[in-house]
Amino acid sequence: MHQHRLGTDQRSDGRHGDDRTRRLVASVRRAVAATAAATGRAWDAFAPVASAAARTGWHGARSAGEAIAAASRAAAERLSSARKAGPPLVLVLASRNLFHDRVRLVTTVIGIVFSVILVTVQIGLFLGFERMVTTMVDHAEADLWIVPRGTRNFEDPSLLDERQRFRALSVGGVAAVAPLVLGFAEWRRPDGGSTPVFVVGSDPRGGGLAPWNVVAGRADDLAAPFAVAVDRSYADRLGVRGVGDAGEIRDQKARIVAVTAGIRSFTTTPYVFAGFDRARAYLGTPTDRATYFLVRLAPGADIDRVRAQIAENLADAEVLTGAAFRERSRSFWLFGTGAGAALFGGALLGIVVGTVIVAQTLYSSTKDHIAEFATLRAIGSSTRYIVEVILWQALLSALVGFALATAAGLAVVAATTDSALPVVMTPTLVLGLLVLTIAMCAVSAVAAIREVVRIDPATVLAR
Amino acid sequence: MTAPVVEGLAIEKTLGEGAGRVAALRGVSLTLTGGALTLLMGPSGSGKTTLLSILGGMLTPTRGTVRLRGETTTGAGPEALAALRRRHVGFVFQSYHLFPTLTALENVQLVLDVRGERTPEARERAAAALATVGLTHKLASFPRELSGGEQQRVAIARAVVGRPAVILADEPTASLDGDNGQAIMTVLAEIARDPERAVLVVTHDPRTLPFADRVVRIEDGRIVAEEPGPRRAASGPPTAPIDSEVRPHAS
Ligand SMILES: Nc1ncnc2c1ncn2[C@@H]1O[C@H](COP(=O)(O)OP(=O)(O)O)[C@@H](O)[C@H]1O
Ligand SMILES: [Mg+2]
């Protein structure tokens, strides 16, 4: 008997273009058609369940349960009958219209892919940037941070007095207070050249900020004389190959005892980890000074109460929770510097450009098929049915474009993992992009829809 | 005599604007009853297409009333008119107007889909309608794979599958050669045997005359003559079915 031919129509202009493209287009088309058909069927089957659930929502659990069970049986029946009836024709029509003109399909998909990738990269950069600017705060073992008053971000070092550390230690509920010292310094490479670095000094065993993701050597060895840890991605900049090599900071030896992976700074200045006293020596910080104090609480201590008490004891310093310090760094870099606005502006531009391209191709496709839409109208189709065809066309384009763009996005993520600004993709971002792509295509359909609702069916007879 | 299926009363229609204004219909009354094939003949520009569009609810008359199975089109908006067409009218066009990206079966099924009929039975009915026009072996063919005569037969299957009260055909044989034209008229005449269904064929092809139960002549927007057609006189199909697969439309 007859089999539905969705996605197997390979005749039209098959002579043009090479075989590979044709096969590729055909297989994409089959995949889309299958997805579309499955979506349609699933919805057909699900709709009665949803409406039964809605109808019986307030009528007690038992009758609702029965109704849902009945609706589920009906749904199962509908599903099997829908399979026999073939895919919904709206969908068939939409996907055939879509694949009828390959040049336009490619344009549409490129438009969507371009736009989604642009948005992905911009938001991915934003996320990567966000993650990077708070990475030090995230990795410190601190319940509370004592920071110089007015500190705007982690890399904004001014100095605290060592006496403040003892005042903090005297507060009940405080288990430990570890000093941290930070600052820019000049690294002299073994070959004689030099490069600026950002020194992070804390005692590895004192519960401060030890290097993480160690891939060679040991973080504990930072206690050894003139020991430092660096990230492997900066090896070339620092002129070293690995553990055992050495450079100089302030004419003092800096021997690499540990190598990390992925501790990168968005300022592109390499981080150099050292023990607290060693770092003070590299930075020339007076012995009674530190940049931050990292407070750890005793088990069961009330963080808000402890925070208030330390703050009361200290002048010229603020006491922040990790979350508050992270938020302060984040908003400084993202919004204080305009970096966030630039990234969001780029994302917005991507959305606008994508919408315009998709709107343009959908509109011209609709214009091309206007005689068919007029025929649909002549045979009595409602406006809603016609709008459905166009929206399905938009949705199918969105799904194809989104799939390709996500694949490309993952490639960008892989390619930038070790770069100064890695693009980050989270499941939430992917889901958000899917919603965004669909919304973008739906908005793009507006112009086409405005065109079809104005069709005069009588034009069919004039042709 | 069966009940009137379509009634047009004192229809006037003005088309165009400004200098291009044309009184396309100047007071036409025409009633179509079930079980009859009516030919509407007249010179080019006489208002045939305009009358067909108005009777089929594609256009509303400037003056006068149209009733489809008793429902008036007066005051109906575009959506209500579409609903009337969906329920009561099947159209056949000179240039077929099939959907090029749909198969013959899908083209026919579309009419039912538009009416919300999406069951396996709907698919079977579409296949049955194609069987009545002798196209059982072409269900999966696309319009471009069909001859003109076959395409027009698909269009007829599409027009009848929803079992409308009236089939309106505007010059259905004009794009076809003699044999194919004969075949199309044979199918339309078969449909008109159903007492529930009226068929109106606009034409100026004299070869269609033998199929008519009634002939209406229109000139310059007015009906000028009305007479029984040869078929009513002979009370039987003038020719044998075009091929063995053509059967009376299942009722
Ligand atoms: N949309 C229109 N605007 C203006 N005049 C029209 C329009 N459609 C048809 N006409 C005119 O109305 C008259 C009747 O046209 P029509 O019904 O198409 O005639 P027929 O089908 O008998 O050839 C003709 O004079 C034609 O030029
Ligand atoms: Mg005409």
Ligand 1 closest atom vs CA A461: 18
**Confidence band for A93, pLDDT divided at 50, 70 and 90:** very high
Write out the residue range of the structural domain in which residue B192 sits.
34-59+78-245
pLDDT of residue A229: 93
Please give the ipTM for the structure prediction.
Answer: 0.88
**If you count them, how many residues does chain A have?**
463
What is the average per-residue pLDDT within A181-199?
Answer: 91
Stretch (H or E) spanning A273:
strand A271-274
What was the pLDDT predicted at A349? 87
pLDDT of residue A63: 60
Interface probe with B: pick from A81, A461, A463, most Cβ of B within 10 Å: A461
At residue A459, the pLDDT reads 85
Any CB–CB contact under 8 A between B170 and chain A? yes
**In this structure, is residue B43 part of a structural domain?**
yes
Highest mean pLDDT among A149-158, A297-306, A425-434, B45-54: B45-54
* Residue B90 lies inside a defined structural domain of this protein: yes
pLDDT recorded at residue B21: 93
Q: How many angstroms does the Cα of residue A456 sit away from the middle of ligand 2? A: 16
B6 found inside a domain: no
- Across the interface, whether the CB atoms of B97 and A460 are under 8 A apart is answered yes
A54-63, A427-436, B74-83, B176-185: range with lowest mean pLDDT: A54-63
Between A236-245, B31-40, B127-136, the lowest mean confidence (pLDDT) is in A236-245
pLDDT in tens, A70-88: 777 776 676 666 566 667 8
- Chain mean pLDDT for chain A: 81
Q: Is the pLDDT of residue A41 over 80?
A: no
B199 is written with which tokens? Answer: 């068929």
Distance between CA B153 and CA B173 in Å, rounded? 11
Question: Does the pLDDT at position A51 exceed 70?
Answer: no
Kindly give the residue spans of alpha helices, DSSP state H, lying in A244-295.
276-283
B88: nearest Cα among B221, B197, B222, B200 = B197
Decide if B1 is inside a domain.
Answer: no
Residues ≥6 apart with Cβ < 8 Å to B136: B127, B130, B245
**pLDDT(A454) > 60:** yes
In a domain, B146, yes or no: yes
* pLDDT of A53 above 90: no
pLDDT at residue number B86: 94
Residue range A377-412, pLDDT digits in tens: 999 999 999 999 999 988 998 899 899 999 998 998
Closest ligand relative to B172 C-alpha: 2
Paired with A197 in beta bridges are A185
- Region A235-241 average pLDDT: 90
Identity of the residue in B139, B144, B170 whose CB atom sits nearest the CB atom of A461: B170
Question: Which segment of A29-33, A273-277, A324-328 scores lowest on mean pLDDT?
Answer: A29-33
- Number of domains present in the structure of chain B: 1
Taking CB atoms and an 8 Å cutoff, what residues of chain A touch B114? 376, 379-382, 385
CA distances from A460 to A331, A448, B115, B144, B175 (A): 61, 19, 20, 19, 15
**Do B58 and A461 touch, CB atoms closer than 8 A?**
yes
Q: What chain B residue is nearest to A40 in terms of C-alpha separation?
A: B118
B224 lines ligand 1 (CB under 6 A): no
- Classify residue B149: in a domain, yes or no: yes
By CB atoms closer than 10 A (0-12, 13-18, 19+), residue A370 is middle
**Count of A–B CB contacts within 8 Å?**
105
Residue B250 located in a structural domain: no
User: In residues, how long is chain B?
Assistant: 251
Mean pLDDT lowest for which of A17-31, A195-209, B35-49? Answer: A17-31
3-class DSSP state for residue A184?
strand
Q: Which of B22, B95, B220 to mutate to test the pocket of ligand 1 (most atoms within 8 A of CB)?
A: B22
pLDDT at A208: 81
The number of the ligand 1 atom at minimal distance from the alpha carbon of B221 is 14
Strand partners, B32: B6
In a domain, B15, yes or no: no
Q: What is the pLDDT of residue A29?
A: 56
CB A149 within 8 A of CB A445: no
Q: Which token pair is A449?
A: 């829809």
B144: CATH: 3.40.50.300
What pLDDT shows up at residue A13? Answer: 42
Distances in Å between the alpha carbon of B176 and those of B141, B143, B231? 20, 15, 22
Q: Can you read off the two tokens belonging to residue A17?
A: 């273009």
Predicted confidence (pLDDT) per residue in B85-138, tens digit: 999 999 999 999 999 999 999 999 999 999 999 888 999 999 999 999 999 999
Q: pLDDT value at position B109?
A: 95
Residue B115: its chain A contacts at CB < 8 A? Answer: 380
CB atoms B123 and A85 under 8 Å: yes
Q: Is B83 on the interface with A (CB under 8 A)?
A: yes
Minimum-distance ligand to the CA of B59?
Answer: 1
Ligand 1 atom 4, closest CA: B16
Q: Which residue in B has a C-alpha nearest to residue A375's C-alpha?
A: B97
* Chain A contacts to B (CB-CB under 8 A): 2-3, 5, 9, 11, 44, 81-82, 84-86, 88-90, 92-93, 96-97, 100, 371-372, 375-383, 385, 457-458, 460-463
